[in-house]
Structure 1
């Protein structure tokens, strides 16, 4: 049950119906728009919703594959064809041909899809084209496949009607022969008349701009009136001024008569063909009418799908029970009008369930309370009329049997009803008919009469509505109703949020607490005298003032804490990123440390192993030579040289831990004696050092921080330049100061005036810093111009997997000249 009768006008559904009519291609679809009705049949609503959802997918993902024209209404032609002896004209058959082709394209579209694709639309198609049984017979009468019948009719039309809507020459052999003879006669006639016309022009009887024309279906020549007797013939017409006559020469009279006879024969043959074609069509009229019903439904469903695409509407999760659990719902009409103006609608999130069935909404005037009620009523009404609704995917919507609304002023002079009387009349209907499957919406509950009495009556009505188990939403300013809702099971307070500091509405619904009317604060803002406001405070009493003050303070505190929560959440994200980077770096350093230590141990083992082998070989050689002094001295000298080499290698390893640093270029040596202070290199080694002292053939050399004694004949001098080059300390890797990086990072990048390559380098640097510091929204200013730089930047940004979305800035803040980048 719906209440009142004009509920569609009150909710604004009549404007949605108008928009759907505009989106329909033909009167076939518009006829179904007029038949839209509210339904509480859950299965029927689900079927309609799924049909629209499937068509929406087609419109979004393969619109070119689905026919979008020639949805023609030919029901009149079909009714005419059903009459025995009647026949359709060429134009009527042409409309039939075009629309049947559209139907065939629809059928072909679904035939080319997998069976599991678009099941609801396939079921709709099957219902329209299934074979019908004779109700007077016990058995089903075998019939042809309706799809094949339509294809046969279309083939027959294609053979006879051309793409201009005329009968083809080969529609019959007789028609072809007549038109061939007619063409020959017309050509002969034209040649004769052209000859007469040239002769008349040469004699000056007509001007050069005169040419052959038709009068009364006969071909004639125009002739100046004063020369009409110069040529024998019949005058068929004259100009308005009487200066020109249209004359049929005597010598072409028979030719014109022959042409007229052939034209009559052509018309008779055309009528015969059309009657024959109509007779062939007549038995298929019932099948064709079902096919055009299907075409109308497809046009209707297509219009609903196009409207859903406009609104970004969806098919939310639906349950066969009474529930409202909507996230980010938007008023459809506001959404469409705001889109045109470049504005955005503040979304509504609302929940009504078995525990909190009735929502009592309070707050200041012009804060969005009435819009909230209309959004709730209109979206629920839309859904139960089979339309997709604008809300988030994770919403849940239920089914109601009754929708009652009391919105707007219903005072009536004819029935002598005041505003308050009309409200009470509505409340009477609500109380009598409300049950657990009812959704009611009441705007400005209890107003229109003395506030104390109005509030008391409203509280009593609310008590009975709660007892009925109905679901609903109520707007009110009455404090007693807010208190009642707070202490009564089944009711819950809600408030339209308000910026208490700047006294501006936020149009956001907050469920769980009552709102303030902010009457005192708004009076201050408007500029009422302070004395008047102070007296009003005294009149309403301290309790009411304290309540309003408390609500205002809570609103301010909530805003402050909400801002703090956003700030803390951002800092927490930054800390998490820093911790992740620290742990990653620590893991890397630990791994590198283990690798270096293992490498050093292996090298040390190899050195020890080599040294032991050398010692053992030396001892063996001394023994084999019989401990000869000369040989022993030479062997010891070799051992000492080997020891020095180990020391040098050890120094080289200590000073060059990385393998890459050991692979140096060849050091350039210079000539000269080795003296104290010489810069030297050990022959065959990369280690460089400085000579500290000379003791005979031995030299004390400082290699880095180590000192060693080496034979002078194993040293060679190098230049100061070479020494500095090879021993200068390498630049050390430094870490990144994340605190400094975060403090100095700007989320805004201005690229105006830069060339493409230069801009992309800046974008890469900007994106790397943004990813490092963890910003979730960036702003790139590139200007509008021809859009080349914008296109280049956006194509480049698509290569970043961290980028979730790109869009233009708001029109007031740069529009298409600024790209907003939202990160994952």
Structure 2
């Protein structure tokens, strides 16, 4: 329920409605904007907002795929065809063909995408009739220019053939007569045949009109030229007229027959156009939201206003035009503080605050995104009431104050716990003392009803009442006392001051007048205003201090957490190092014992032969040398080195592996396929695996000896032939084009990676990637990836006639 009837105008929604209509593509969409209304139903509000959010995603990510042409409104034509014997015009038939194609494209847009992607919009399109047979029939009737084809019917084809022949004969005869008349001087040399009343004629000077036998049809405005139809072509022109009449009758017959064909489907067709209008409206809402930086906020199925950085969209647009920025609004209404009583100086932003609350709440319940922060939460109200501005009526003999009282009467009778009240300058319009008393009594009743609201006032008694009444909270529009200018910031929890004395002093009112006014107001009132200002100043100071303390506490918590994390890591690292050291020491001890025992055994077995003993001692000395050198290499403090495998201590040091060169036999690490190295370019190695060539990194290859190769061949057995057959089949079935249009960036990139890998493995020399133009983000991501692949020699746009920037051609 909205009260009064001009609620939209008072909060500015009528302007929002106009801005939405400007973004529509069709009259149907503009009509949907006009029909949109505030909804108190939670599920409906959530559905409307979900539709708009999904459309915002489409406009940001897939705008090039969304159809935006031919949003025609043909409902009036369809209604006209209900009457038997009526028929559409050719232009209307053309509009029907194109708009039905647009409706089909809209519905198929969702059918081609994952069913979980656009749930709300898919539900909106679900069940829409597409009329493929009607489109097929229209395609058969109309040419690309929207005119009936010659073969729309056999009779029309014959009529147009006859007409072409007769007109050709007339043209030849007329040009022959014209050339003869020009040669005899009856007609100007530059004269040419023209048409008068649908008949071909020759322009002749009036002095020679009797020289040319025929019928005079017209003369120029100056009287210097007459238009004569030669007698030789009169009958032929008559035949043209007859054929043209026959053509019109046949076209009407065809159009009437088509009208009879679609007449049973007229209601379904009109419903399809309504769906077209709904999508146009949703798109307009999404565009409006994107233009204003709006979001779809969290919606709760209760009554609340918990907003952060809320912005009035119309005021933001106005300030932006003059280079100014808007001050966002933070406001909270909940069960504990349902009514906010705002006080403060005039022109300090109280009314703007009230209108912002009214407009944003109304927009949300109409399914339109709003400009707030992500942390904001909106509730759902059943009733929105407003009392703002001067509504005196001469016709109804109502003063401003009387109209306010009528509104208050309505508010008291109809408000409840699901009502949001917006009241500006509460209690004004009559004698202040009694006006303040009535306002306090009304506020008490509204509070008793459990209503929510934002109320602005200057009355001191209402500020006092708000301090003691449960459910009501004071709020102040802040004011800079030093600069004597409003800050347009709302502070909840304290009453505001009118700053009347300071403002009077700033504009130059004499000190005598100010002093006299202060004396008449009374020192208690002036002092109270001063105390309120001092409280505001002190509160602002301590709020800043508290914020600083919070920031320091947060920083201290971060440092403490980091310290504890570092300490835990150091303990774990120390434990790991100690464990490694113990393990290595144990390993060294075991090796030492084994070496000593082996040396003794060899000396005994050699029966103390000098050469054998000398060799055993030399090996033992080499082992001791390795033990002495080992700690030097492992003295890196607290670095995470993996311990060497045990077998490295049991075998002599391995010689450094030579780099891979052309002609080597190699295999991919973790695979059994063996190939020949063809070329080495730095870290990139070109290898031939059978008939397939591939470029891989050198660190992914292992040199294969002849014995190792024989062992791999034995292990593979018959499997090798099967693998070759699989690769052959994959190469035969490989397609050199991939279409990633409509995919998200990560999906498209993964598909392209697999595609390029397969192409390299198959030995394909050129492939094409269809990504569309759009915003260019998908194209940029794909090309950045292609630039990192060594196997890609070159990539560029396709030829402009074959797709241009929407397709990337890759040479491998």
Among 311, 325, 347, the alignment partner of 1:330 is: 311
Instruction: Please name the residue that 2:195 is paired with.
Output: 214
Inter-partner Cα distance in structure 2 for 1:2 and 1:585: 63
Among 343, 352, 357, the alignment partner of 1:376 is: 357
Decide whether aligned partners of structure 1 residues 221 and 478 sit closer, same or farther in structure 2, where only a CA change above 3 A counts.
Answer: same
Query: Which stretch of structure 1 is more off in the superposition, 353-362 or 330-339?
Result: 330-339
Q: Deviations over 1:475-499 (max 9, x none)?
A: 1222322222122211112222334
**Deviation at residue 543 of structure 1 after TM alignment:** 4.8
Inter-partner Cα distance in structure 1 for 2:294 and 2:395: 42
* Contact 2:416 2:451 (C-alpha < 8 Å) held by counterparts: yes
Decide whether aligned partners of structure 1 residues 253 and 457 sit closer, same or farther in structure 2, where only a CA change above 3 A counts.
Answer: closer
Q: Note if 1:517 corresponds to 2:492.
A: no
Instruction: Please name the residue that 1:183 is paired with.
Output: 164
Inter-partner Cα distance in structure 2 for 1:452 and 1:458: 10
**Deviation at residue 335 of structure 1 after TM alignment:** 3.1
Decide whether aligned partners of structure 1 residues 248 and 96 sit closer, same or farther in structure 2, where only a CA change above 3 A counts.
Answer: same
Inter-partner Cα distance in structure 2 for 1:503 and 1:582: 52
**Deviation at residue 358 of structure 1 after TM alignment:** 1.0
Inter-partner Cα distance in structure 2 for 1:266 and 1:427: 72
**Deviation at residue 573 of structure 1 after TM alignment:** 8.8
Q: Note if 1:98 corresponds to 2:79.
A: no
**TM-score if structure 2 supplies the norm length?**
0.68
Q: Deviations over 1:167-204 (max 9, x none)?
A: 10110112112212222222232223223333333444
**Deviation at residue 453 of structure 1 after TM alignment:** 3.0
Decide whether aligned partners of structure 1 residues 599 and 321 sit closer, same or farther in structure 2, where only a CA change above 3 A counts.
Answer: closer
**Deviation at residue 527 of structure 1 after TM alignment:** 4.4
Superposed, 1:469-484 pairs within 5 Å as 469-484=450-465
**Deviation at residue 616 of structure 1 after TM alignment:** 10
Decide whether aligned partners of structure 1 residues 202 and 524 sit closer, same or farther in structure 2, where only a CA change above 3 A counts.
Answer: same
Instruction: Please name the residue that 1:318 is paired with.
Output: 299
Q: Deviations over 1:409-456 (max 9, x none)?
A: 223344444333332232222222222222111111222333333332
**Deviation at residue 29 of structure 1 after TM alignment:** 2.1
Inter-partner Cα distance in structure 2 for 1:310 and 1:220: 60
Superposed, 1:472-551 pairs within 5 Å as 472-530=453-511, 532-534=513-515, 536-538=517-519, 539-541=522-524, 543-551=527-535
Instruction: Please name the residue that 1:819 is paired with.
Output: none
* Contact 1:45 1:384 (C-alpha < 8 Å) held by counterparts: yes
Decide whether aligned partners of structure 1 residues 497 and 659 sit closer, same or farther in structure 2, where only a CA change above 3 A counts.
Answer: closer
Inter-partner Cα distance in structure 2 for 1:199 and 1:580: 111
* Contact 2:11 2:355 (C-alpha < 8 Å) held by counterparts: yes
**Deviation at residue 102 of structure 1 after TM alignment:** 1.9
Superposed, 1:121-270 pairs within 5 Å as 121-126=121-126, 129=128, 146-147=129-130, 150-270=131-251
**Deviation at residue 652 of structure 1 after TM alignment:** 9.9
Superposed, 1:370-769 pairs within 5 Å as 370-530=351-511, 532-534=513-515, 536-538=517-519, 539-541=522-524, 543-558=527-542, 560-561=544-545, 564-565=548-549, 568=552, 572=556
Matched positions, count: 635
Decide whether aligned partners of structure 1 residues 570 and 352 sit closer, same or farther in structure 2, where only a CA change above 3 A counts.
Answer: closer
Decide whether aligned partners of structure 1 residues 612 and 53 sit closer, same or farther in structure 2, where only a CA change above 3 A counts.
Answer: closer
**Deviation at residue 352 of structure 1 after TM alignment:** 1.6
Unmatched 5+ residue regions in structure 2? 638-779, 785-812
Q: Secondary structure at the match of 1:229?
A: helix
Q: Secondary structure at the match of 1:248?
A: strand
Decide whether aligned partners of structure 1 residues 562 and 252 sit closer, same or farther in structure 2, where only a CA change above 3 A counts.
Answer: farther
Instruction: Please name the residue that 1:133 is paired with.
Output: none
Q: Secondary structure at the match of 1:222?
A: strand
* Contact 1:499 1:556 (C-alpha < 8 Å) held by counterparts: no
Instruction: Please name the residue that 2:670 is paired with.
Output: none
**Deviation at residue 215 of structure 1 after TM alignment:** 1.4
Instruction: Please name the residue that 1:40 is paired with.
Output: 40
Decide whether aligned partners of structure 1 residues 624 and 223 sit closer, same or farther in structure 2, where only a CA change above 3 A counts.
Answer: closer
Decide whether aligned partners of structure 1 residues 3 and 116 sit closer, same or farther in structure 2, where only a CA change above 3 A counts.
Answer: same
**Deviation at residue 373 of structure 1 after TM alignment:** 0.8
**Deviation at residue 20 of structure 1 after TM alignment:** 2.0
Inter-partner Cα distance in structure 2 for 1:610 and 1:392: 73
**TM-score if structure 1 supplies the norm length?**
0.67
Larger radius of gyration: 1
* Contact 2:202 2:227 (C-alpha < 8 Å) held by counterparts: yes
Inter-partner Cα distance in structure 1 for 2:154 and 2:588: 109
* Contact 2:495 2:532 (C-alpha < 8 Å) held by counterparts: no
Instruction: Please name the residue that 1:142 is paired with.
Output: none
Inter-partner Cα distance in structure 2 for 1:274 and 1:532: 86
Instruction: Please name the residue that 1:726 is paired with.
Output: none
Query: Which stretch of structure 1 is more off in the superposition, 45-54 or 66-75?
Result: 45-54
Q: Deviations over 1:302-323 (max 9, x none)?
A: 3233323333333333333322
Q: Deviations over 1:682-739 (max 9, x none)?
A: xxxxxxxxxxxxxxxxxxxxxxxxxxxxxxxxxxxxxxxxxxxxxxxxxxxxxxxxxx
Q: Secondary structure at the match of 2:162?
A: helix
Inter-partner Cα distance in structure 1 for 2:528 and 2:461: 11
Decide whether aligned partners of structure 1 residues 545 and 345 sit closer, same or farther in structure 2, where only a CA change above 3 A counts.
Answer: closer
Inter-partner Cα distance in structure 2 for 1:249 and 1:432: 89
